[in-house]
Structure 1
Amino acid sequence: MTSSSTGRCLCGAVTFTATPRGGMHACHCGTCRRLSGGILFSVDCGDSVAVQGTVATYASSDWATRQFCPACGTGLFWRSNAWAVTMVSAQAFDDPSAFKLEDEFCIESKPDTYALAGDRP
Structure 2
Amino acid sequence: MSEAGQILNGRCLCGAVKVSVLSDNLRLRACHCDMCRRHTSGMFISVDTLPGTLTVEGPAESFVSSDWAERGFCGKCGSTLWYGTLHDGIRHPAAGLFENAAGGQMKLEFFIDRCPQGYGLAGEHKRLSTEETIAMFSGEGEGT
Q: Assess same fold via TM > 0.5.
A: yes
Q: Distance in 2 between matches of 1:98 and 1:36?
A: 21
Structure 2 equivalent of residue 11 of structure 1: 14
User: Which consecutive aligned stretches of 4+ in structure 1 deviate over 4 angstroms post-superposition?
Assistant: none
Q: Distance in 2 between matches of 1:59 and 1:21?
A: 28
The 8 Å contact of residues 59 and 76 in structure 2, kept in 1 or not, is answered as no
TM-aligned CA deviation for residue 114 of structure 1: 2.9
Most deviating of 91-100 and 29-38: 91-100
Structure 2 equivalent of residue 39 of structure 1: 43
Aligned partner of residue 4 in structure 1, secondary structure: strand
* CA RMSD after TM alignment: 1.6
Partner residue of 1:85 out of 90, 103, 121: 90
1:99 aligns with 2:112: no
Identical residues among aligned pairs (%): 36
**Which of the pair is proportionally richer in helix?**
2
Structure 1 pair 59/21, CA: closer, same or farther in 2 (3 Å)? farther
TM-aligned CA deviation for residue 96 of structure 1: 1.5
By relative contact order (CA 8 Å, sep 6+), the higher-ranking structure is 1
1:114 aligns with 2:119: yes
How many residue pairs match? The answer is 121
Most deviating of 13-22 and 67-76: 13-22
The 8 Å contact of residues 47 and 102 in structure 2, kept in 1 or not, is answered as no
Aligned partner of residue 6 in structure 2, secondary structure: coil
Q: Distance in 2 between matches of 1:84 and 1:21?
A: 19
Structure 1 equivalent of residue 139 of structure 2: none
TM-score of the pair, normalised by structure 2: 0.77
Most deviating of 87-96 and 55-64: 87-96
TM-aligned CA deviation for residue 83 of structure 1: 2.2
Aligned partner of residue 23 in structure 2, secondary structure: coil
TM-score of the pair, normalised by structure 1: 0.91
Q: Distance in 2 between matches of 1:36 and 1:52?
A: 21
Q: Distance in 1 between matches of 2:119 and 2:100?
A: 25
Gaps of 5+ in 2: 127-144
